[in-house]
């Protein structure tokens, strides 16, 4: 676990092939988002590619900071990695609880609300990446000026 915090780029860059593989193996499956009367349909492969691009940018950002000998906040690293991967795992587990046999709309609506809130937390957690990068740049700049 300590290696993940010291080298956070590893987990993001190693997740890319796994995401692409999941996207390819999902075949023609789609991800549907319903907002009021509009449906957004995204193929899992396209979604996997988009998330892989984001993970690539994040991984390269962490790698550049390591090569530039800039110290990042371990707390912000934990927060970012935990929300990104832990949140995605929780969302995946919660989607398995949808009731399709019995049409219990109240249960599914509450579950949808919880999943939406967790996804919102994941998106907000992505803001920790640029905050951590800025923190690492400012922190080391102040140390070199002393």
Write the pLDDT tens digit of every residue in 116-128: 899 999 999 999 9
Of the listed ranges 11-15, 26-30, 106-110, 115-119, the least confidently predicted one is: 106-110
Number of structural domains in the chain? 2
pLDDT at 11 over 80: yes
Residues 93 and 136 in one domain: yes
Among 24, 41, 68, the domain-final residue is 68
**Two structure tokens written together for 137:** 């740049």
Q: Which are the contacts of 143, defined by CB distance < 8 A and separation ≥ 6?
A: none
Q: How confident is the model at residue 12 (pLDDT cuts 50, 70, 90)?
A: very high
Residues 94 and 25 in one domain: no
- For residue 62, the model assigns a pLDDT of 92
Give the Cα separation of 13 and 7 in Å (integer): 11
Residues 87 and 130 in one domain: yes
Handedness of CA 103, 107, 113, 119 (dihedral sign): negative
More confident: 51 or 1:
51
Query: Taking all residues of the chain, what is their mean pLDDT, rounded to a whole number?
Result: 85
**Two structure tokens written together for 8:** 């956070």
Residues 138 and 78 in one domain: yes
Give the Cα separation of 74 and 106 in Å (integer): 40
Residues 138 and 114 in one domain: yes
pLDDT at 106 over 70: no
Write down the pTM of the prediction.
0.81
- For residue 2, the model assigns a pLDDT of 66
**Two structure tokens written together for 69:** 């000998």
Q: How confident is the model at residue 110 (pLDDT cuts 50, 70, 90)?
A: confident
Among 12, 35, 68, the domain-final residue is 68
Residue whose tokens read 């800025």: 134
Please give the residue range of the domain that contains residue 36: 1-68
Write the pLDDT tens digit of every residue in 20-51: 999 999 888 888 777 778 888 889 899 999 99
Residues 94 and 143 in one domain: yes
Residues 12 and 58 in one domain: yes
Residues 119 and 88 in one domain: yes
CB 73 within 8 A of CB 135: yes
Residues 76 and 19 in one domain: no
**Two structure tokens written together for 132:** 């951590």
Among 68, 87, 104, the domain-final residue is 68
Give the Cα separation of 122 and 116 in Å (integer): 10
């Amino acid at each position: 676990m300590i290696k993940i915090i010291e080298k956070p780029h590893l987990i993001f860059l190693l997740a890319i092939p796994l995401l692409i593989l999941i996207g390819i193996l999902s075949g023609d499956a789609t991800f549907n988002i319903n907002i009021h009367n509009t449906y957004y349909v995204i193929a899992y492969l396209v979604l996997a590619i988009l998330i892989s691009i984001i993970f690539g940018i994040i991984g390269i950002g962490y790698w550049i900071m390591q090569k530039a000998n800039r110290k990042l906040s371990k707390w912000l690293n934990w927060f970012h990695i935990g929300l990104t991967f832990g949140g995605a795992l929780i969302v995946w587990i919660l989607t398995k609880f949808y009731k399709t046999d019995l049409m219990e709309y109240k249960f599914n609506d509450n579950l949808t609300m919880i999943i939406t809130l967790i996804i919102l937390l994941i998106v907000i957690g992505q803001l920790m990446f640029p905050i951590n990068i800025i923190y690492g740049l400012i922190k080391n700049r102040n140390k070199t000026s002393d």
